[in-house]
Structure 1
């Protein structure tokens, strides 16, 4: 009976842990712009499209990795930006954009592409292409070390 109680507790704990799994807290572009005004933090913009297989692979494999989730949430305001979406408009620095026009303004020409912005919302660099979890974190760490105090 005691063994059964221990097994039930372990199964229950494992189930709760699975449901409590953290995820990247994706924002819209304008939400990140507002957030960094109140609490300055770098911005990671994931520019993607619906047809991009590598974008889907990033979502499925890299962005579900616990270390990537923790690192991105701790160091960035993460933004999802659809590189071809024309129907949603927002204002940034006094100009109106769609997600597609913002991607063009950021000079994104391939997908997936990760645009890194500093706390003043200026583009620092891009990390184009699919990246596995460890190289993705390493690339972000290098940028954070280079552009923060």
Structure 2
């Protein structure tokens, strides 16, 4: 009976979450990923994560499965996932090479998930830690994709949207 429960648990969690359509299949060459995103009129963002991160799993299970998030982010973004403890080599926007762990350190990522959004030149627009519900994630997407980041801070944008 215990084995059956374990098997059902594995099956449920293996097939319960669809692939994320805006996730970029990346060879961790952020320079190339950024160029490709720019060519397609999309923005690049990194999801820093780690194994056994319950809030990372919640992002994948809840926020990334929301139809509005899937549609908007597929149209406007590429996401690259980085393991904050990983040792895989990453090519940064300027061509320098570092490990995933070193990249996480560069952005001062301490907890996961952590999202960093970039403009088309590789300049950081926004860095946000923690689980983000679908409504908030859509606001972040709109802030970046519609260019509000050029005019105001995210927090000012959020207040402006809440007033309307």
Same fold (TM over 0.5): yes
Kindly report the root-mean-square deviation, in angstroms, between the aligned alpha carbons of the 2 structures.
2.2
Name structure 1 gaps, 5 residues minimum: 1-20
Q: CA deviation at 1:32?
A: 1.8
Q: Is the 8 A contact 2:111 2:129 kept in 1?
A: yes
Measured in 1, the distance between the counterparts of 2:91 and 2:79 equals: 18
Q: Is the 8 A contact 1:22 1:66 kept in 2?
A: no
1:142 partner SS? helix
Q: Is the 8 A contact 2:49 2:113 kept in 1?
A: yes
* TM-score of the two chains, using structure 1 as the length reference: 0.75
Q: Is the 8 A contact 1:41 1:118 kept in 2?
A: no
Bigger Rg, structure 1 or 2: 1
CA distances 1:86-141 after superposition (whole Å, capped 9, x unpaired):
1x113221211111111111222221111011111111111211011112112221
Q: CA deviation at 1:39?
A: 3.4
Q: Is the 8 A contact 2:41 2:76 kept in 1?
A: no
Change (3 A) 1:73 1:51: same
The equivalent residue for 2:6 is none
CA distances 1:6-52 after superposition (whole Å, capped 9, x unpaired):
xxxxxxxxxxxxxxx88423122425234135334321211111121
The equivalent residue for 2:90 is 90
Number of residues paired by the alignment? Answer: 128
1:43 aligns with 2:40: no
Matches within 5 A, 1:1-149: 23-27=20-24, 28=26, 29-30=28-29, 31-36=32-37, 38-86=39-87, 88-92=88-92, 93-145=94-146, 146-147=148-149
Q: CA deviation at 1:68?
A: 0.8
Change (3 A) 1:90 1:131: closer
